[in-house]
Amino acid sequence: MRKVLTVLLLAVILVALVATVVEMPPVGDPANVTNNEVPARYLEESIRETGVLNVVAGIIVDYRAFDTLGEATVLFVALAAALANLKAH
């Protein structure tokens, strides 16, 4: 019974992932919003909206702060797990 549930769960996850990939726009599609509006807004409005002179720093710290925090958290957890494993042996 456990194996059947595991296979069923994996099948549902696989269907969800395939459906997501099928719905994605082709890479480099000019009609894709992320290829046109987002980078243009970051470059044109970042100095006025964030108040920084370095556009890259403004994007990372202001627009993408939650992403950056998530990435830092993942790196911290990975480092803590690696150190815990090395210390245990």
pLDDT in tens, 33-66: 666 778 888 888 888 888 888 988 888 888 888 8
The amino acid at 52: V
As a whole number of angstroms, the distance between CA 63 and CA 7 comes to: 40
Residue 33 phi/psi, 5-degree rounding, is -60, -40
Q: How confident is the model at residue 89 (pLDDT cuts 50, 70, 90)?
A: low
- pLDDT at position 34, please? 67
- pLDDT at position 63, please? 84
pLDDT at 11 over 90: yes
30 Cα distance to chain centroid: 22
**pTM higher than 0.75 for the full model?**
no
Output the six-digit token pair for 34: 């992320």
